[in-house]
Structure 1
Amino acid sequence: MTALRTPALVAVLAWTLTACAPLTPAVPAAAQPPQPMQWQAPTGTAETAAIDARWWQALGDPQLSAWVEQALAHNNDVLAARARIDEARAQIQLAGAAGRPVLDAVLPMSSGRSLGSTGMTHLRSLQPGVQASWEIDLWGRLDALGRAADLRYQASQADRDAIALSVASTTAQAYVGLLSLQAQLRSAQATLVSREHALQLAADQARVGYISQLQLTQAQSEYHSVLQSIELLRHSLARQRNALRILVGWEAPDGAAPGTAALHWPGEGAPDLEALQLPRLPVALPSQLLERRPDIARAQWQLAAADQSLAAQRAAFLPQVRLSASAGSLLINALDYNPATVWSLGGSVLAPLFDAGRLKAQFGVSVAQRDQAAYAYRGVVIQALAEVENALAGSQLLQTQMAQARERQQVLQRSLGFAHDRYQAGYASYLEELDAQRNLFAVQQEVIRLRQSQLDNVIALYQALGGGWQAGGGQGL
């Protein structure tokens, strides 16, 4: 009868303690992410086809691809993200070890002198042996911690892929920016040659009194203005090259690490900014976006890990059962060091009764951390939706602006011809031709910058749509 009563008593006690554990609150309703059915911005001719994981190759420049591949292999942020994956993998092993028995070798030794009934006694002892302990995971606390570690490992993989996607996009945009600066520099240098000829002509005409000193000083001012622009562009080019080198781990151009393509600065024979292809816009439904972006997947797994940590913290309110055992030999000088076998078996139940609110406070911390992860997930989704909307809207705007700028460039090109003819025929002053030259140079620079903006916007849209990422597929790492 006693043998049946003891398990029943343990079961009743366990049920009572389980009832004392707090209920897990639901995720706040405000943390639910929005789920729009369609985009607000017009998608135009955007295609819904799957995105290639090496989407940067669609721009049609092998050197751009070489720079991106180099960045994915050697960028410092990508390398640090890989190290975080190694850390998360080790955390899985650490969490799994907590649920397995632990076996230790022990070698207690002691030496002491004391007064006994027969006088002073000097006792020496040696007890080699092994000790084993094991926590029985009755309530799934250790299992929940293991699942949390595994989810954080998956989140670290998605984090690496999100960083790789960002690095690829940033590298592509930096390369496009370098081409843009080179195009602006070539335009400025061509304009400088024209201004130099015009200045020489103005100086000759002022010397014979054909034009005034005011017109000469205007020509000098325009010449030095373009010269100053060239110096600023050269400085910007140097900074842009350094920015690219930072992205690829400071690898020197015209050389690369083993296994990667050689890097070269864009130059003669390489595609210029205008030669880069402007691929048709990719697009996806808002519902598909949740499955295509690594940063959204990372936030999802972090939220799931926070849920498991919360479950483990709730299980801390329940009794913890540990088993222990030890075995060994006892050698003492009183027995002439004749080995004696000693062993022990035991168990313990640790049930929290009073802790001054520590467990409740820790549970509250876990609830708050779970809710923060839920809001973080919602924030990532909102940011992703906004990035796609901005890129789609920017595509339409930039296309319109580019068409208008090119038309204006053609008009100003004809206007400069008219102004030059009027000046040569004596119907207008040289200031009119200078003004036409200034306007044409400004719109030429604007066309180059708009082309750069169009390419940057396409790159940003590829990034906003996840860059062809798939769970478990990685980002070309």
Structure 2
Amino acid sequence: MLALSGCVSAGPRAPVPEEAHVAAPAGWRTPLAASGDIAPDWWRAFGDPVLADLVARALANNVDIALAATRVEEARAAEALARAQLSPQIGGTLPETQGQTLSPFGTPSQAVGFQPALTASYDLDLFGRLRQASRAARAQLLASEGAHDTVRLATIASTASGYVTLRALDQRLAIARDTLAARAEALRIARRRFEAGYSSRLEYRQAQAEYAATAQLVPAAELAIARQENALALLTGDPPRAIPRGLPLDRLAAPAIPDGLPADLLRRRPDLFQAEQALVAADRTLDSQRAAFLPNLSLTGSAGLVLSTALADPVGVFSLGASVLAPIFDGGRLRAQADAATARRDGAAFAYRRAALVAFREVDDALAGVRRTGEQAQDLTQQAEAARGALANATSRYRAGYSSYLEQLDAQRSLLTAELSLVQAEADRLTSHVALYQAMGGGWRRP
């Protein structure tokens, strides 16, 4: 069971709210077959080397990934700083003094002295204030790494789905151009029939209107292609440019779906790992704030030499001491800080619950999308084939004079709608596979 109580150690006086606990759906406890594991480079399963090159370029040059990497380095430095607080602090001084001395005969003389010394201090951390702060910084580092992997996985998924969308737009443009060529032929025939007196001006005007309606699909598709290419160029860290093409949409292979979805599979998601580590960091920070109520014991010491022109030999000096600092009255400052830390910990717990619920929903949505879009594509394939046959029959009947032009026009519109819908359904089916792999962690492995 995926529950918060098994992820963090809550303090004895402020347990995690029960409403923040979340468990995986019981229906997802099917064992995962060994052959159904997710490959780290799952996007190669589409079988398009151009797509693989685009993803590799995005992973190397994407600005969002680079920005997330800088946050990881910042968290690593903060963790090193918190860890350094557990070590003794050693420093050195070299003060210079000048003054006058009196000889036995009362003659004054100028004296110059130096007192080099080493100083050391060490916080015993009896109640774990610094240790908990160091553990909180460590959890924050892991959370930042999870955020980096989340951005990385989102970039891969956006690149793959963007490429599928681009190939779908290419196919829509090809359909529009083929349909426009057919409309041009129909317009030519309608003009000849009108000029010969075999048909009315109405049929000729209808053919003109249908040709213009189809012609506007071409620039609309070209505009969408240009925008999609620019979006992919942004993902790959490039200025607007033309994107190379690989396999057409109908030749892209859909990656295999794993045989089962066990309850712990979603724990591989980097965003869940990030939310979990953020909760751990908030819990450790709360422990550190509670330790601030207790006394703090520090050891300090120094050792050095006194060097002076007034002394024949140097004089050694040293000191060793301890100090106890305990809060007596601070106007409620420490209590307010502890209450704020408790609220942040509870907020992190609910954020983790929400991340888990969103993960369950995304996997279920993606599975439903893969299944239903596949069924829709099959039905639309049959519809397109039937519409293609109906158009052939309507065209033959119109040319033979057995039916009006409206019958052929209606068949042309039905075929165009079915072909465009089929392209969209194929693109939705492939992007549903991308969404499924992203929802299931996409081959990411917890460190």
**TM-score normalised by length of structure 2:** 0.89
Equivalent pair of 1:181/1:237 in contact (CA under 8 Å): yes
- Are 1:439 and 2:427 matched, yes or no? no
Of 18, 24, 49, the match for 1:29? 18
Equivalent pair of 1:291/1:297 in contact (CA under 8 Å): yes
Q: How big is the shift at 1:283? A: 5.2
1:418 is matched with 393
CA 180–323 in structure 1, closer or farther in 2 if over 3 Å, else same: same
Distance 2:95 2:187 in 1: 98
Q: Structure 1 stretch 177-186 or stretch 138-147: which is displaced more?
A: 138-147
Of 172, 187, 190, the match for 2:175? 187
Distance 2:303 2:255 in 1: 73
Letter of the 2:414 partner, please give it: N
Distance 2:82 2:154 in 1: 31
Distance 1:435 1:82 in 2: 56
Q: Secondary structure at the match of 2:127?
A: coil
- What is the CA RMSD across the aligned residues, in angstroms? 2.7
Q: Structure 1 stretch 394-403 or stretch 323-332: which is displaced more?
A: 323-332
1:325 is matched with 301
Distance 2:51 2:17 in 1: 45
5 Å matches for 1:130-279?
130-250=118-238, 265-266=244-245, 270-279=246-255
1:393 is matched with 368
Q: Secondary structure at the match of 2:119?
A: strand
Q: How big is the shift at 1:75? A: 1.0
Q: Deviation per CA, 1:197-240, whole angstroms, max 9, x where unpaired?
A: 11122222222332222222211111111111110110110110
Of 65, 68, 82, the match for 1:81? 68
CA 112–241 in structure 1, closer or farther in 2 if over 3 Å, else same: farther
Q: How big is the shift at 1:431? A: 2.5
2:7 is matched with none
Q: Secondary structure at the match of 1:317?
A: coil
Letter of the 1:412 partner, please give it: A
Distance 1:188 1:283 in 2: 39
Gaps of 5+ in 1: 1-21, 255-263, 473-477
Of 254, 259, 264, the match for 1:288? 264
CA 163–233 in structure 1, closer or farther in 2 if over 3 Å, else same: same
Q: How big is the shift at 1:253? A: 6.6
Q: How big is the shift at 1:440? A: 0.6
Q: How big is the shift at 1:165? A: 1.1
Q: Secondary structure at the match of 1:51?
A: coil
CA 457–290 in structure 1, closer or farther in 2 if over 3 Å, else same: closer
Distance 1:314 1:148 in 2: 14
Equivalent pair of 2:86/2:130 in contact (CA under 8 Å): yes
Q: Deviation per CA, 1:57-100, whole angstroms, max 9, x where unpaired?
A: 11111111111111112111111222222122212211111011
Q: Secondary structure at the match of 2:120?
A: strand
Of 72, 96, 107, the match for 2:59? 72
Distance 1:218 1:163 in 2: 52
Distance 1:28 1:187 in 2: 57
1:347 is matched with 322
Q: How big is the shift at 1:405? A: 0.9
Distance 2:147 2:428 in 1: 28
Of 407, 424, 428, the match for 2:382? 407
Q: How big is the shift at 1:400? A: 2.0
Q: How big is the shift at 1:48? A: 7.2
1:298 is matched with 274
Letter of the 1:30 partner, please give it: E
1:92 is matched with 79
Q: How big is the shift at 1:403? A: 1.7
Q: Secondary structure at the match of 1:93?
A: helix
Distance 2:332 2:111 in 1: 47
Equivalent pair of 1:130/1:326 in contact (CA under 8 Å): yes
CA 352–438 in structure 1, closer or farther in 2 if over 3 Å, else same: same
Q: How big is the shift at 1:134? A: 1.2
Equivalent pair of 1:39/1:389 in contact (CA under 8 Å): no
Letter of the 2:327 partner, please give it: P
Q: How big is the shift at 1:251? A: 6.6
Equivalent pair of 1:291/1:470 in contact (CA under 8 Å): no
Give % identity: 40
Q: Structure 1 stretch 75-84 or stretch 438-447: which is displaced more?
A: 75-84
**TM-score normalised by length of structure 1:** 0.84
Q: Secondary structure at the match of 1:352?
A: coil
Q: Secondary structure at the match of 2:36?
A: coil
Q: How big is the shift at 1:415? A: 0.9
Distance 2:254 2:315 in 1: 85
Q: Deviation per CA, 1:324-360, whole angstroms, max 9, x where unpaired?
A: 1223345678x48986544322211000010000001
2:4 is matched with none
Q: Structure 1 stretch 158-167 or stretch 238-247: which is displaced more?
A: 158-167
Equivalent pair of 1:47/1:281 in contact (CA under 8 Å): no
Distance 1:367 1:109 in 2: 50
Distance 1:280 1:100 in 2: 52
Equivalent pair of 2:42/2:255 in contact (CA under 8 Å): no
